[in-house]
Structure 1
Amino acid sequence: MLDNETALLEKMAAGDRDAFQAIYYHYAPRIYGKLLKLLHSEDLATELLQEVFIVVWQKHTVIDPTRSFRSYLFKIADNLAIDLFRKANRSTQLLNRLLEASIDHYTHTEERLEQKENAFMLQQAVDALPPQRKLVFTLCKLEGKSHDEVSLLLGISPSTVNNHIVKATKFLREYLADHPDIAGIILLCFILK
């Protein structure tokens, strides 16, 4: 709740656009987050967010500042989302848009989980390296430092850095061969090039 929400609601009821704007900027991120969770589409969530505040402005003269404005906003958002789903049942185009958004959301979630799993498996493999080799590999391959930078940083020759990278790469390839359950083999092969 805003510190001065009641005063802002009273000003908004009197037609004060600055008060409306302050309320919008305070509540818009929360309403958008709720709509995004319901719709799994940034475009649709943005559209409905605007509709929520259009309704608020249209009814600004009858809003009761003594009642929970937050609940009022979330109720409008819920009702607009329900209306959208009802329209989707009647509109093939809108239904397809919602389905595409859900599929995209699922795909992105699945990709993020796979990336986390790949990162965990990569870290397990790298952790199995001897300490100095692990440090050199991490600096060069995972942090993107050049062989010369690592050489200066660790006080070893560039050929020693290269030797560590070659041996680490060989070890990690063998590690992958011994662990076929690793889902991130493609990711690791990319790193090991």
Structure 2
Amino acid sequence: MENSQEKISTENVLLSLKEGDINAYMNIYEHYHSRIYSFALSFLKSEDISREITAEVFTEVWERRSEIEPDTFDSFLISVCSNHVYKKLRSTFNENDSRKKLWNRMKPGSN
């Protein structure tokens, strides 16, 4: 749990990020990236894909920085990450389903 001094500091960094400060962005990345990576890894079970998702999340944070509200940033970040994880899981499921269908069509006697 953040103490009040850390909370004020984080809020100031988030406000700077909202204004386009690249140093604030790097600070936020350093502060949150391991949590986002761990969250993604807990669902995806792949270090490479979790690193990819983490990069996508922080790219989206930068692209949507003008929408950032310090009071709801943690929820915003988890929501962005959840959406990327869900999209990846859905894509993987669809790819696997397509492979199974193709394989079944290629089996002898499955005309």
TM-score range, shorter chain: 0.7 to 0.9
Aligned residue for 1:36, secondary structure, equals helix
Matched, 1:71 2:75: yes
Match of 2:103?
A: none
Matched, 1:91 2:95: yes
* Counterpart-to-counterpart distance in 2, 1:80 and 1:15: 23
Identical residues among aligned pairs (%): 32
Aligned residue for 2:67, secondary structure, equals coil
**Match of residue 44, structure 1, among 42, 49, 52:** 49
Larger-gyration structure (1/2): 1
Structure 1 gaps of 5+ residues are 96-193
Matches within 5 A, 1:24-39: 24-39=29-44
Structure 2 gaps of 5+ residues are 100-111
* Counterpart-to-counterpart distance in 1, 2:94 and 2:78: 25
Q: Deviation at 1:89? A: 2.3
* Counterpart-to-counterpart distance in 2, 1:61 and 1:75: 16
* Counterpart-to-counterpart distance in 1, 2:25 and 2:53: 17
Q: Name the one with the larger helix percent.
A: 2
User: Which amino acid in 2 is paired with 1:49?
Assistant: T
Aligned pair count reads 93
Matches within 5 A, 1:47-66: 47-65=52-70
User: Which amino acid in 2 is paired with 1:87?
Assistant: S
User: Which amino acid in 2 is paired with 1:37?
Assistant: S
User: Which amino acid in 1 is paired with 2:43?
Assistant: L
Structure 1 stretches of 4+ moved >4 Å = none
Match of 2:86?
A: 82
Q: Deviation at 1:68? A: 2.4
* Counterpart-to-counterpart distance in 2, 1:68 and 1:60: 13
Q: Deviation at 1:52? A: 0.4
Matches within 5 A, 1:25-174: 25-65=30-70, 67-92=71-96
Aligned residue for 1:15, secondary structure, equals coil
User: Normalising by structure 1, what TM-score?
Assistant: 0.45
